[in-house]
A = this chain, B = another copy of it.
Amino acid sequence: GYGRTAVNYEEGRSTFVDDVLTSQNETQVSARVRLNVHATTSTDQGVDFGARLRLQWDQGDSGIDRVSPGQIYVTASGFTVAVGNVGTAFDNAGLLYASEVGLISRSFGNPMGDFYAYESKSYGANNNRLGVSVEYAVDALKARFSYVDADQTGLTDADEEISISVDYDWNDVALSAAALKDGKSIDGNDQYFLGAYYTLAGTENGVGLSYIDNGVANKPVVVDGIRTGTANVEQGKTFVLYGDYVVAPLTTISAYVANNDAAGNETDNAFGIGARYDLGGAYLAGSLERGYDENVRGDFGVRFDF
């Protein structure tokens, strides 16, 4: 797991207080403690079995309300099959989040539509959610498939989400592609991702390009500052160009430009720049970004893995 804390500035930060959109302090401290519990055993035939749980606390939680739902998996001959609270093929696509900057790891080039992912806290009302995932890894290839049913009991009639993704390393180029059907059990919420990243031979400098067809996301509907409900909103298509450059030993500068054509944007262009300094076992990082709503956000802090 890891621990991290950062000063986090978000221009125009607000939240809903009893459905009323209310301003809050733009500068707050963000923190997270994540603890992965991973219990494994191996059979005489070389098959590995494992179970995963996660404890995660974020600043703003009164405590760890719930330890995550469990996952059971089996690994043999390059195949990993998992049942329960699984990571999904789309969410795990190798380059999907590659344009992220800063300590909190954010980017306006990230996917904006709704889909399932490994759940760090609680299924919430979907307590009968069931996921199954398959991953196959061999040499430079990783292929993934996942299936998530929001309610396996059949009491509610939600669509199942199905997704696939493939990563492939070819010389100095990493390729990644993913597709998704009925994301987060929203009928017709199909999404697509294509990404490539080129690393300059003999360096850690590189440049990447991504295309995301975002599908829809369920968002609050706000009328005159009052939340009146939620609606599925088209999130448009996103193109992202990004790169990383090692400016000095242990110090990496990253930046991205993203273009998204969703209807509600104030501007279709967002960009961000970040820096990271490696302490060996921990790192300092900061970033500055400007989003599609023309607001600025930035962070600076420290993260360490354990």
Contacts and interface: CB of A to CB of B under 8 A. Distances in A.
Interface stretch (A58-66, A158-166, A176-184, A223-231): A58-66
A70 B42 contact: no
Contact of A33 (B33, B42, B71): B71
A59 B306 contact: no
Contacts of A40: 306
Contact of A41 (B61, B125, B306): B306
Contacts of A72: 3-5, 31, 33
A47 B282 CA distance: 9
A214 interface: no
Contact of A44 (B39, B153, B280): B280
Contacts of A41: 281-282, 304-306
A276 to B, nearest CB: 14
A53 B51 contact: no
Interface string A83-126: 11000000000000000000000000000000000010111111
A128 B24 CA distance: 12
A70 B28 contact: no
Scoring A4, A45, A57, A63 by chain B CB atoms within 10 A of each residue's CB, the highest score goes to A63
Q: Within the oligomer, what is the number of copies of this chain?
A: 3
A15 interface: yes
Contacts of A61: 69, 127
A284 to B, nearest CB: 10
Contacts of A43: 279-282, 304
A125 B121 CA distance: 19
A31 B132 CA distance: 12
Contacts of A304: 41, 43, 49
B49 A83 contact: no
A44 B281 contact: yes
Interface string A274-296: 00000111100000000000000
7 contacts: A24-B154, A41-B305, A42-B281, A59-B84, A62-B122, A63-B68, A63-B69
Interface of A: 1-5, 15, 17, 22, 24-25, 28-29, 31-33, 35, 37, 39-45, 47, 49-53, 55, 57, 59-72, 74, 83-84, 119, 121-128, 130, 132, 152-155, 279-282, 302, 304-306
